[in-house]
Structure 1
């Protein structure tokens, strides 16, 4: 985040070209171009959310554009209307809440098996949030959590990708995802039955510190 003013106006970078985040993903230059053009054509501004909570709009992005560094934005917090806008404003002023994180849908991507990095080539930008703990120094890209916050469940394929990023081979990740993802999804939605497969304890141990967001959280 670049700066914060007393009236709630601030600026910063929401995404940086080529920077690999904690999910082993990077955004390709120009990935937002079509999405930004479509929003401009419809005269639609994107909301500022608090921690990707779709029910907590706290302001509006008055400017979002791609430059040589990344996705640059200027926003205005609704300090008089949104309680969490005041929390965000206070946190930014104290330099303890400084992260920006994009919420989007992937429209085109590529995965490099050698580098084990996913390149996001085309994104449908839905929102940019103020977050507490960014994965990058200037910005945060949190694909799975952002997708859930936008109202969409992660897929079995995305679950397998998270496993690959934690060191599992593609074959092992795909095999685990076939059973593990479906069981996790059932547990999170309250649909576990007596016939649900066992062994999730062993899976949790194998994943170690891996933590997945709650469906609908």
Structure 2
């Protein structure tokens, strides 16, 4: 059975799912319940419960990947849980990893604003043109460019510490360490 992926970037109502915090900490909704995605699939409340319980019992983790590429982990999810709205995640992009530094910069600049789930369907029912997904085996949550759930968008906050680091790195590369950016 092939690993499936669902893209979701969150809301524009100020509770957006991807939010830059201290350093490279991100938090938000990787999946929203009862909303059809572009493929017509809808994730039902409780769809992740059994998977999260199995992972916890086995000491496993949901992986944080870049664009669903298993060869490109970029951080760790410190918290993954269901609530009344969807699948909420909080984690850290690891800036010690080259791809992590790039991902953090792209998120801070607003160039990347999506979260996406990688999973296997364990139970689903046909529902019109799509499916109602009632049990999913969650493998990973990725930072992505194009979210599958169009109406869910990210409201990322600016991370001034990261912006300062990026400007200093740019000056260093240009040989302008003593100058300030305009």
Q: CA RMSD in A?
A: 1.3
Q: Distance in 1 between matches of 2:112 and 2:84?
A: 25
2:42 partner SS: strand
Aligned length: 136
How far 1:6 sits from its partner (Å)? Answer: 4.6
5+ unaligned residues in a row in structure 2: which ranges? 1-16, 154-182
TM-score, L = length of structure 2: 0.71
Asked if 2 retains the 8 angstrom alpha-carbon contact of 1:14 and 1:138, the reply is no
How far 1:135 sits from its partner (Å)? Answer: 2.0
Asked if 2 retains the 8 angstrom alpha-carbon contact of 1:47 and 1:61, the reply is yes
5+ unaligned residues in a row in structure 1: which ranges? 140-217
How far 1:79 sits from its partner (Å)? Answer: 0.7
User: Which residue of the partner structure matches residue 26 of structure 2?
Assistant: 10
Correspondent of 2:135 among 93, 112, 122: 122
Confirm or deny that 1:135 pairs with 2:127.
no
Q: Summarize deviations over 1:29-54 as a string: whole Å, max 9, x none.
A: 00000000111111222210000000
Q: Distance in 1 between matches of 2:108 and 2:152?
A: 16
Q: Distance in 2 between matches of 1:2 and 1:48?
A: 13
TM-score, L = length of structure 1: 0.60
Q: Distance in 1 between matches of 2:88 and 2:131?
A: 22
Q: Distance in 1 between matches of 2:67 and 2:53?
A: 25
Q: Summarize deviations over 1:59-95 as a string: whole Å, max 9, x none.
A: 1110000000000000111111x21111111111111
Alignment of 1:33-182 (within 5 A): 33-80=49-96, 82-112=97-127, 115-136=128-149, 137-138=151-152
Asked if 1 retains the 8 angstrom alpha-carbon contact of 2:18 and 2:114, the reply is no
Asked if 1 retains the 8 angstrom alpha-carbon contact of 2:75 and 2:93, the reply is yes
How far 1:5 sits from its partner (Å)? Answer: 2.6
Q: Summarize deviations over 1:121-174 as a string: whole Å, max 9, x none.
A: 1000000000011122437xxxxxxxxxxxxxxxxxxxxxxxxxxxxxxxxxxx
Q: Distance in 2 between matches of 1:89 and 1:2?
A: 12
Which structure ranks higher in relative contact order (CA pairs < 8 Å, sequence separation ≥ 6)? 2
1:55 partner SS: strand
Q: Distance in 2 between matches of 1:12 and 1:51?
A: 17
2:50 partner SS: helix
Q: Which has the larger radius of gyration?
A: 1
